[in-house]
Amino acid sequence: MNARTLGTDGPTVTPLGLGCMGMSDFYGSPDEQAGIDTIQRALDLGVNLLDTADMYGPHTNERLVGRAIDGRRDDVVLATKFGIDRNGDGRAINGRPDYVRSSIHDSLERLGVDHVDLWYQHRVDPDVPVEETWGAMAEQVEAGKVRFLGISEAAADTVRRAHATHPVTALQTEYSLWSRDIEGEILDTIRELGITLVGYAPLGRGFLTGRFESPSDFPDGDWRADSPRFQGDNFDRNLDLVRAVEAFADERGASPAQVALAWVLHEGDDVVAIPGTTSVHHLQDNMGALDVELSAEDLARLDEIAPHDAAAGDRYSDMSSVGI
């Protein structure tokens, strides 16, 4: 795999990492052993970027990742996130410095490591200046608990303010054929500053693989069943997009997932994708994206299939904390 560097001087990672959220939360009943097997197979295949967060579970995903990498820490560029507090009722965005400090302590304990390689502010707290949050994050770099810092779902001006406090190595946000919101000001800003884009949900939360024919296909307890993009007319309209991607993939002798991931990776050497899966089979299919070459003509056709505003429905039921 052609390695990519996070930021200007960050760790070297594989173009495809592994998002671990679904192994513990949001997509139906988790199977922890399947998650561990998938992580370990990914490491065997050379994948080195693993992505988790303290709010997945909550807390259980970090523990799962810690068990999976036990004895293989040197094989992993380990990323986790803080900032969405699920300890109380509901979910609260928290960027207070005292919470920043306690969060890294707790994450390290759950992961069973003495440092993380990349630590993200998961969501920006509208009630706390980002400079205060990032000042406390920078302290953790100085203390050796964190190597590099990232931010997730942040607006361009917020990224600039964070970067002025301490260098931002990566911006993590949803990016796929049907989630292209950051193209324009945000993408231009991070490229100007030398910040890598880490695209989560590059398979449209599994939808772009063609696995789902109707909302009833989602298992009980699956977050997607309540997401605007997977409901009613939105589902049907988005399914038309998937069918077009499937037809394109068939012409190329590839799977829809491989085409969707290849498109993300072809958007630039400063882009990394972290598809999530709980299946070794799907993991291995995803890895085939590295062998899919897309010409300028192919990319133009995919832009026609999935233009900037192709998806029907918002990404979240409540978009208030996205892009602050």
pLDDT at residue 198 in the model: 98
Q: In DSSP terms, which residues pair with 171 in a beta bridge?
A: 151, 197
pLDDT at residue 90 in the model: 61
Choose, from 56, 120, 175, 200, the residue flagged as catalytic. 56
9 alpha-carbon distance from chain centroid? 21
316 belongs to the catalytic site: no
pLDDT at residue 225 in the model: 83
pLDDT at residue 26 in the model: 80
pLDDT at residue 89 in the model: 57
Per-residue HEC secondary structure of 168-220 comes to CCEEEEECECCECCCCCHHHHHHHHHCCEEEEECCCCCCHHHCCCCCHHHCCC
pTM: 0.95
Distances, alpha carbon 256 to alpha carbons 163, 204, 242, 296, in Å: 36, 11, 8, 18
pLDDT at residue 220 in the model: 83
Write out the chain's pLDDT in tens, 324 residues. Answer: 589 999 999 999 999 999 999 999 888 888 999 999 999 999 999 999 999 999 999 999 999 999 999 999 999 999 999 999 987 656 799 999 999 999 999 999 999 999 999 999 999 999 999 999 999 999 999 999 999 999 999 999 999 999 999 999 999 999 999 999 999 999 999 999 999 999 999 999 999 999 899 888 888 888 788 889 999 999 999 999 999 999 999 999 999 999 999 999 999 999 999 999 999 999 999 999 999 999 999 999 999 999 988 898 889 877 767 877
Per-residue HEC secondary structure of 260-288 comes to HHHHHHCCCCCEEEECECCCHHHHHHHHH
pLDDT at residue 223 in the model: 78
